[in-house]
Amino acid sequence: MKQAVRSWVSACQDCGSRKARPQAVVPPLRNLRTGDVCDRWAIDVTGPLPVTESGKRYVLSAVKYTTRYAVAEAVEEHTAKSIARFLMNKVVLGFGPMREIMIDGAREFDSQMITELLSLLQAKQSTPVPYRPKLLGLVERFHRAWKDMASLYINDEQDDWGEFLPCVLYAYNGSEHATHGYQSNELMLGRKLRTPAELLRRSRLRHPYQTLTEYHETLLQDLTTARDLAALALQKEQAREAMYYNRRNVRHGTAFRIGQLVWIYRPARGPGITKFGHR
């Protein structure tokens, strides 16, 4: 009798549609393949920032997945035209066309101009799931990093950050990445970025290579080795992060059967909707 009453009460649709609390089904974290160098870029915009003397208030940024190499430019407004110009002048003409580009669903990124440009470049456009900014976490972390670095040098009015943007870019690309231990510039262009203090250690030019062919062969060999080791380190780090993420967030036993009845959470929105409505 007790079980029958409990089953009858739990089957009440009015109680279920009002009192039940939605439980999000978090899928397991999947690793994102980085591809070859310059195959995939992530692009995003940050701002509005304090307006500089030249009228700039936004920063467009692009970060390469494999090498973590960053490119950024200060702009007055983030329109489809400014994004297309940045993408073409700073990324494509500097490092070649990409195979895939990851951008969010903002109107400027989803415009016809950007779509036609990517079509001409034969590049695939990938847009993360709405309300999941972590999928663009690579470029989001870069925005946080360069702001932290520039904040130590800007004036009290905070309107000269544009002058330090090239400096923090140099420092960011010249820093060793915590995952693989290489500089972004080293993996991207084949050499480490030097600081002025390093030039004080020697007073004259060196000629370590006898011919250009010898330099070219050594450069290719070192680049191949460094990129392979960096890719392996990134794969290990992704696997480690996925293991801890799935252990902490993924709910097991949430597989559904064909024909199984489920509740669908639909929050009440719109004019005239009160907090007493069923969801």
* Domain residue extents for the chain: 40-192+217-249
CB 40 within 8 A of CB 91: no
C-alpha 139/C-alpha 155 separation (Å) is 25
User: What is the percentage of the chain residues whose pLDDT exceeds 90?
Assistant: 1
pLDDT band for position 12 (50/70/90)?
A: confident
pLDDT band for position 253 (50/70/90)?
A: low
- 51-75 residue pLDDT tens: 888 888 899 898 888 788 899 998 8
- What is the overall mean pLDDT for the chain? 76
CB 184 within 8 A of CB 168: no
C-alpha 72/C-alpha 44 separation (Å) is 10
Name the E strands within 65-174: 70-75, 100-102, 124-126
pLDDT of residue 121: 81
Residues contacting residue 245 through CB under 8 Å, at least 6 positions apart: 29
Q: Could you identify the residue written with the tokens 């059967």?
A: 257
Q: Over 80: is that where the pLDDT of 83 sits?
A: yes
Which token pair is 68? 């973590």
User: Cβ of 81: how many Cβ atoms within 10 Å?
Assistant: 14
For residues 36-54, give the mean pLDDT: 83
Consecutive H or E run containing 116: helix 112-121
pLDDT of residue 177: 78
Backbone angle region of 203, left / alpha / beta, with phi > 0 → left and psi within -120 to 50 → alpha: alpha
Q: Over 80: is that where the pLDDT of 5 sits?
A: no
Q: Over 60: is that where the pLDDT of 275 sits?
A: no
pLDDT of residue 160: 84
Q: Which pairing describes strands 40-46 and 100-102: parallel, antiparallel, or unpaired?
A: parallel
pLDDT of residue 224: 75
119-128, 185-194, 220-229: which range is least confident on average? 220-229
> What is the layout of strands, in order, in the sheet containing 100-102?
70-75, 58-64, 40-46, 100-102, 124-126
Q: Over 80: is that where the pLDDT of 2 sits?
A: no
For residues 85-103, give the mean pLDDT: 86
C-alpha 24/C-alpha 170 separation (Å) is 42
Q: Could you identify the residue written with the tokens 């090239």?
A: 166
pLDDT band for position 159 (50/70/90)?
A: confident
Which token pair is 41? 């870029």
93-102, 129-138, 176-185: which range is least confident on average? 129-138
CB 47 within 8 A of CB 76: no
For residues 126-137, give the mean pLDDT: 65
pLDDT band for position 228 (50/70/90)?
A: confident
**Of 183 and 34, more confident:** 183
CATH architecture of 40-192+217-249: 2-Layer Sandwich (3.30)
